[in-house]
Chain A
Amino acid sequence: MYLNQFLLLAAFLFSVGVYGVLARKNGVLVLMSIELILNAVNINLVAFGAFHDTVAGQVFALFVIAVAAAEVGVGLAIVLLIYRNRHSIDLSEVDLMKG
Chain B
Amino acid sequence: MLAYAWVIPAVMVVSFALILFFGKRLPRKGHEIGLAAIAIAFALSTVCAVEWVGRPANHTVEPVAAEPHGEATASESGGHGEEEAGHGAEEAGHGAEEAGHGAEEAGHGAEEAGHGAAAPAAEEGGEHGGEGEHEAEPIREPVVSEGTWYENGPVKINAGIHMDGLAVVMLFVVTLISLAVHVFSTSYMHDDRRYTHFFAALSLFTAGMLIMVTASNTLQLLFGWEMMGLCSFMLIGHWWEEKNNSDAALKAFFTTRTGDIGLLVGISILFFAAGNTFDIAETNRAALAGQISDTVLLAGAAALLCAVIGKSAQFPLHTWLPDAMAGPTPVSALIHAATMVVAGVYLVARLYGVFWSAFDIGGGGINPIALVGGITVIIAALLAFVQSDIKKVLAYSTVSQLGYMVMALGVGAWTAGIFHLFTHAFFKGLLFLGAGSVSHAVHSFDMKKDMGGMRTFMPTTYKTFMVGTLALAGVFPLAGFWSKDEILLGAGENGYELFLVVGLVGAFMTAAYMTRCVYLTFFGEYRGHGHPHESPPAITIPLIVLAVLSAGAGLLNAPGIELFTKWTENEAVLLAGVAHHEFSLMTALIGGLFAGGGIAASYLYYWRNLGPHRLTERSGAAMAGYRLLENKYYLDRLYTDGIVASIKGPIARAAYIVNQRVIDAVVNAVGIGTRRAGRFTYDVLDQKGVDGIVNGVGLTAEEGGSVLRVLQTGRVQQYAAFLFGGVVLLGGALVLFT
Contact = CB atoms under 8 A, between A and B. Distances in A.
A91 B720 CA distance: 12
Interface string B42-79: 00000000000000000000000000000000000000
Nearest to A25: B717
Interface residues of B, number: 12
Nearest to B708: A99
A52 interface: no
Contacts of B724: 18, 22
A3 to B, nearest CB: 19
B714 A98 contact: yes
Interface residues of A, number: 13
A69 interface: no
A70 interface: no
A46 interface: no
A34 B724 CA distance: 13
A35 B342 CA distance: 112
A81 to B, nearest CB: 15
Interface in B697-738: 708-709, 711-717, 720-721, 724
A25 to B, nearest CB: 8
A97 interface: yes
Nearest to A18: B724
A94 B716 CA distance: 8
Contacts of B711: 99
Contacts of B712: 97-99
B714 A92 contact: no
A92 B721 CA distance: 13
B709 A99 contact: yes
B715 A92 contact: yes
A94 B709 contact: no
B125 to A, nearest CB: 113
A53 interface: no
Interface string A84-99: 0000000110111111
Interface string A1-39: 000000000000000001001110000001000000000
A91 B715 contact: yes
A30 B715 CA distance: 13
Given A18-B724, A99-B709, A30 B717 contact: yes
A95 B713 CA distance: 7
Contacts of A22: 717, 720-721, 724
Given A18-B724, A22-B724, A96 B714 contact: yes
B723 to A, nearest CB: 9
A91 B717 CA distance: 8
A23 B188 CA distance: 111
B717 A98 contact: no
Nearest to B721: A22
Contacts of B717: 21-23, 30, 91-92
A29 B715 CA distance: 16
A30 B716 CA distance: 11
Contacts of A91: 715-717
B512 to A, nearest CB: 114
Contact of B713 (A21, A23, A98): A98
A96 B716 CA distance: 10
Contacts of A96: 714
B153 to A, nearest CB: 77
A30 B718 CA distance: 13
Interface in A54-99: 91-92, 94-99
A5 to B, nearest CB: 22
Contacts of A18: 724
19 contacts: A18-B724, A21-B717, A21-B720, A22-B717, A22-B720, A22-B721, A22-B724, A23-B717, A30-B717, A92-B717, A94-B716, A95-B713, A96-B714, A97-B712, A97-B714, A99-B708, A99-B711, A99-B712, A99-B713
The 5 closest A-B pairs by CB, nearest first: A99-B712, A98-B714, A95-B714, A97-B714, A99-B709
Given A22-B717, A91-B717, A95-B713, 18 more contacts: A21-B717, A21-B720, A22-B724, A23-B717, A30-B717, A91-B715, A91-B716, A92-B715, A92-B717, A94-B716, A95-B714, A97-B712, A97-B714, A98-B714, A98-B715, A99-B709, A99-B712, A99-B714
Interface of B: 708-709, 711-717, 720-721, 724
